[in-house]
Every structure is written in C-alpha cells, then in structure tokens.
C-alpha cells in the first residue's frame, strides 16, 4: 500500500465502491503494529480537529451533557480515541467469537482505514458547509450510511465471512449491546443520559 496522498485517495474511493477489495489491499500492508496504532491515533486527531473547526464555523445547540465533549478538543479526542479503540477490540473479539479468523493487527489497520475514508467525507462536508450549507446535512446522512457499509464489509473481509446480511445484523446487535452496557454502567455510577428512561 503506497502512502502518498493521491494513492491513498484513489484507494479510499476504490474502498467505497468495492469495500472488500479495498480491505484486502489494506491488509496486504506490512506496516508494523506500532505504526498501525500511530495511524489510528493520527486519524482520530485529524477528525477531532475537523470537528472543532466545523463547530466553530457553524455552532449548534448542544445538550449540556454533551457540551464538555463537543466544546473541549482534548476531551473530544479522548472520547473519540476510546470509542475507536473499543471498536477495534470489538471487531476482533466478536468476529473471533462468531468463528472468524482475522488478526488483531489487521483489525487496527482496517478501523484506521475506515476512519481515513470518513475523514475524506468530513472534508467534503466541511466544504459544503461553506459553499452550500443544505448539502452538508445530506452528506452527514451519507456518512452515517457509509460507516455501516464500510464496517460491515471490512468485518466480513477481515474474518472471512460470506454473508454481509449476517455480519450487518451482528454489527447492529453488538452496537446495541455495548450501548446498553454503557448506559447501565453510567446509571450505576449515577450519571444520567439525556433522553434515557
């Protein structure tokens, strides 16, 4: 995998059109594990920076519970990195529990790669905020769909699963399960989540 920007952008577009082919190309990388963690950290930092710029240019009404995470870049970075690391472990361990054969190093790399692709979309959304604001919301919806599209295909390719439908159900069930566990943990320590019963 070539690491110059034009090659990365071409591969990113190819990964959107054919995610499993893109995942295979990324997993052929001989990048050491330490560099994979560094790549993951880098994409999180860039994503947080872009998010802070977007918030500064187009401030939105934020619930008081989430305000510290949105308005503080350090806190936003810690939260986003924590969630991204949890995603790496979930992709690896849940996939293995379901009979998959993927490696942990490849899980790190694929999550970092997915984040890079989403950053590319984030840049497009950022430009739309300035040039054509109504389009930015549609791009946000597209990003939500793209996240699940990439994650489902990447997990399937990582672990050698054939059925994308089953992988998608597994992804949704895992996210719901982790969200429930997190809300339960927060309620035990006395932190209320807005909108939760």
Rounded to an integer, the average pLDDT of 155-179 is 90
| pLDDT of 175 | 86
Please write the tens of the pLDDT for every residue from 69-109: 566 778 888 888 988 999 999 999 999 989 999 999 999 99
* Residue 141, both tokens: 């919806």
Contact 36, 107 (CB under 8 A): no
* pLDDT of 67 higher than 70: no
User: How many Å separate Cα 194 from the centre of its chain?
Assistant: 23
| Nearest one of 39, 20, 196 to 102, comparing CA atoms | 20
Rg (CA), the chain: 17
Nearest to 144 by CA among 159, 170, 125, 128: 125
Report angle CA 185, 177, 158 to the nearest 5 degrees: 125
Q: Over the chain, what is the mean pLDDT?
A: 84
Interatomic CA distance for residues 23 and 11, integer angstroms: 10
With pLDDT > 90 as the criterion, what percentage of the chain qualifies? 46
pTM of the model: 0.86
Distance of CA 119 to the CA centre of its chain: 9
Residues 12-58 have pLDDT tens digits of 999 999 999 999 999 998 889 999 999 999 999 999 888 887 777 66
**Inter-residue contact 56 to 126 (CB < 8 Å):** no
> How confident is the model over 156-160, as a mean pLDDT?
94
Percentage of the chain beyond pLDDT 70 is 86
193 burial (CB, 10 Å; 0-12 / 13-18 / 19+) is: middle
Residue 196 confidence (pLDDT) above 50: no
């Amino acid at each position: 995998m070539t690491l110059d920007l034009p090659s990365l952008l071409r591969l990113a577009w190819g990964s959107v059109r054919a995610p499993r082919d893109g995942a295979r190309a990324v997993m052929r990388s001989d990048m050491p594990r330490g560099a994979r963690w560094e790549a993951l950290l880098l994409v999180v930092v860039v994503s947080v920076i872009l998010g802070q710029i977007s918030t500064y240019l187009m401030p939105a009404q934020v619930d008081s519970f989430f305000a510290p995470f949105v308005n503080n870049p350090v806190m936003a970075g810690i939260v986003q990195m924590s969630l991204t690391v949890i995603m790496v472990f979930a992709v690896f361990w849940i996939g293995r529990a379901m009979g998959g054969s993927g490696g942990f190093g490849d899980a790190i790399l694929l999550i970092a790669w997915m984040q890079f692709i989403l950053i590319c979309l984030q840049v497009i959304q950022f430009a739309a905020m300035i040039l054509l604001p109504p389009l930015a919301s549609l791009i946000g919806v597209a990003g939500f769909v793209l996240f699940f599209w990439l994650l489902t295909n990447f997990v399937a390719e990582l672990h050698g699963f054939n059925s994308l439908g089953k992988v998608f159900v597994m992804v949704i069930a895992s996210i719901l399960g982790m969200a429930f566990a997190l809300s339960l943990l927060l309620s035990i320590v006395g932190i209320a989540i807005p909108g939760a019963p």
